Amino acid sequence: MSDVLIAFLLTAVAGLSTGIGSAIAFFAKKTNTKFLAVSLGFSAGVMIYVSMVEIFQSAQQTLTKALGAKPGAIVTVAAFFGGMLLIALIDKLVPSEENPHEVKRIGEPQPVDAKKKLMHTGLFTALAIGIHNFPEGLATFVAALRQPSVAIPIVVAIAIHNIPEGIAVSVPIYYATGSKKKAFTYSFLSGLSEPLGAIIGYLVLLPIMSDVVFGILFAGVAGIMVFISVDELLPSAREYGEHHLSIYGLVAGMVIMAVSLLLFM
């Protein structure tokens, strides 16, 4: 039970970091593009490295042990790309104008006649983030339940990339309503889908959890993480106009992730 509580706590920390983005939107006069680009790149580096080096390998080892060498390898690869397909379909269902990864900058005032549209955009962005974060919550919960040492850097990486998502919700709602409280509330609530994903994982998956189920989930998690990194984090960093800094952050994230995994061996 203590492992389950830890997994829930880590998932909640990752999801509710959207509130940090909302707070930044209120206290910062202008978006720090350099810091944000490095942070997004760092997050992508952590998730790509841990997905390919640790999570994928762990899933394959578990599945080959349970199913045999070749069947286990096939199922691992299928689950990996299945995770990519799942998050790609979710992303496809979200209209581009409400996509949570469209860049929102702090300190850019909007005309009065755009307030209604901004409110609509902010609310749908909150909904879109909720949809996107649900599989992330499930992924974090499964990782934390099985390997807490691997889950912690994943939580940090997800928390970092949830911060600009919080900004994406709070900025349009704030400019539409003039209310910091409303903007913060919607931004904060949009992150609740991650612990909700953990709850669904606990209720549905835990009773049927086995080595095969875990291996498939873990491989799917790796696919989800890689897709998020290359489809959302790095393009978002580039949109802020700091392409090279995002790559430096990417490499730094990989290096730190590699060192942390070596320390926990």
- Residue 239 is predicted with a pLDDT of 66
Q: Token pair of 113, please?
A: 């006649």
pLDDT, tens digit (0-9, with 9 covering 90-100), for 125-178: 676 667 667 767 777 787 777 777 777 777 877 777 677 777 767 776 777 777
Q: Token pair of 252, please?
A: 């730094």
Nearest Cα to 10, choosing from 216, 149, 190? 149
d(CA 37, CA 208): 41
| Amino acid (1-letter code) at residue 33 | T
Q: Token pair of 202, please?
A: 């606990």
Nearest Cα to 219, choosing from 106, 77, 71, 124? 77
Domain-by-domain residue ranges, the chain? Answer: 2-263
- Residue 19 is predicted with a pLDDT of 81
**Cβ-defined contacts of 73-82 (< 8 Å, 24+):** 75/212, 75/215, 75/216, 75/219, 76/215, 76/219, 77/219, 79/215, 79/216, 79/217, 79/218, 79/219, 79/220, 79/223, 80/56, 80/219, 80/220, 80/222, 80/223, 81/223, 82/219, 82/220, 82/223
Instruction: With beta carbons less than 8 A apart as the criterion, state whether 234 and 41 touch.
Output: yes
- Residue 64 is predicted with a pLDDT of 96
- Residue 74 is predicted with a pLDDT of 96
Instruction: With beta carbons less than 8 A apart as the criterion, state whether 10 and 151 touch.
Output: yes
Phi, psi of 208 (to 5 degrees): -110, 10
Q: Which ranges of the chain have pLDDT less than 50? A: 98, 100-101, 103, 107, 109-112
Residue 155, helix vs strand vs coil: helix
